């Protein structure tokens, strides 16, 4: 049976001075990787010294490098990936800087301001944000996975001893198809995103490894 991951739907509405999840403003480079999160606002105040944050990063090109506050993150290169971080805040204003670079050198940086133990400072005068912009990214891949279950399924030689024989079905290689589609829309202070990711193996024995993910979100930037 396919593994279907529950849809993540986040609806953030403006209400008085309430802080709401938001996507940081995008830079001008439309070819750069997208950086999304619903765990941080562009400017916010927190009551606890620690916060777990998940970033979703995707691009038409393979993402080659991701850094958080100058620290390079370890990950398997792909078009879509998730970076999970736990931040510990000092008393005062804290800044979180996330940078993503693809294999063609396109770079995007997003910054988030977090106040801990102090009042949130008055934000600067907003710039003109009445424009409408959108971007759609899609990707289809076909991979030959040598061993989906990460088992040792090939003959090996250990010293004078040769281990060989028939390879079990669940230790054999298989072909994998993966597809993703992501859309981002901004209109004034509103921003929304929706995405679909799917991964399938050819052999029936690997069907439990198949997956589908649906992402959707809407936010308002104060």
Domain of 105: which CATH number?
A: 2.60.40.10
Residue 37 lies inside a defined structural domain of this protein: yes
Residue 72 lies inside a defined structural domain of this protein: yes
Structure tokens at 188: 């004034």
Exposed, middle or buried: residue 219 (CB in 10 Å: 0-12, 13-18, 19+)?
Answer: buried
Structure tokens at 166: 């028939």
Residue 170 lies inside a defined structural domain of this protein: no
CA distance 32 to 102: 7
Locus of tokens 């940078």: 99
pLDDT value, residue 21: 37
Number of domains in the chain: 1
Domain region containing 92: 3-119+130-140+175-220
Residue 148 lies inside a defined structural domain of this protein: no
| pLDDT at residue 67 tops 50 | yes
Residue 159 lies inside a defined structural domain of this protein: no
Residue 161 lies inside a defined structural domain of this protein: no
CA distance 191 to 17: 18
Structure tokens at 88: 């510990």
Q: What percent of the chain has pLDDT over 70?
A: 71
Whether the Cβ atoms of residue 85 and residue 123 lie closer than 8 Å to each other: no
State the pLDDT confidence band at 177, using cuts at 50, 70 and 90: confident
Where on the phi/psi map is residue 149: left (φ > 0), alpha (ψ -120 to 50), or beta? alpha
Residue 162 lies inside a defined structural domain of this protein: no
Query: pTM of the full predicted structure?
Result: 0.50
């Amino acid at each position: 049976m396919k593994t279907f991951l529950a849809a993540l739907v986040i609806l953030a509405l403006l209400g008085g001075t309430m802080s709401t999840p938001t996507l940081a403003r995008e830079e001008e480079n439309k070819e750069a990787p997208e950086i999304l999160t619903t765990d941080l606002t562009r400017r916010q105040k927190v009551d606890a010294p620690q916060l777990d944050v998940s970033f979703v990063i995707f691009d038409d090109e393979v993402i080659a490098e991701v850094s958080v506050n100058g620290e390079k993150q370890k990950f398997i290169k792909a078009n879509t990936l998730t970076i999970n971080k736990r931040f510990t805040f000092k008393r005062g204003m804290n800044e979180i800087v996330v940078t993503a670079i693809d294999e063609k050198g396109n770079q995007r940086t997003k910054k988030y301001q977090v106040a801990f133990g102090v009042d949130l400072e008055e934000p600067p005068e907003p710039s003109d944000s009445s424009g409408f912009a959108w971007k759609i990214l899609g990707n289809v891949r076909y991979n030959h996975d040598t061993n989906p279950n990460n088992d040792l399924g090939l003959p090996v030689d250990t010293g004078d001893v040769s281990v060989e024989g028939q390879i079990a079905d669940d230790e054999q290689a298989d072909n994998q198809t993966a597809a993703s589609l992501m859309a981002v829309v901004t209109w004034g202070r509103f921003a929304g995103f929706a995405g679909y990711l799917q991964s399938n193996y050819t052999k029936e024995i690997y069907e439990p490894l198949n997956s589908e993910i649906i992402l959707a979100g809407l936010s308002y930037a104060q």
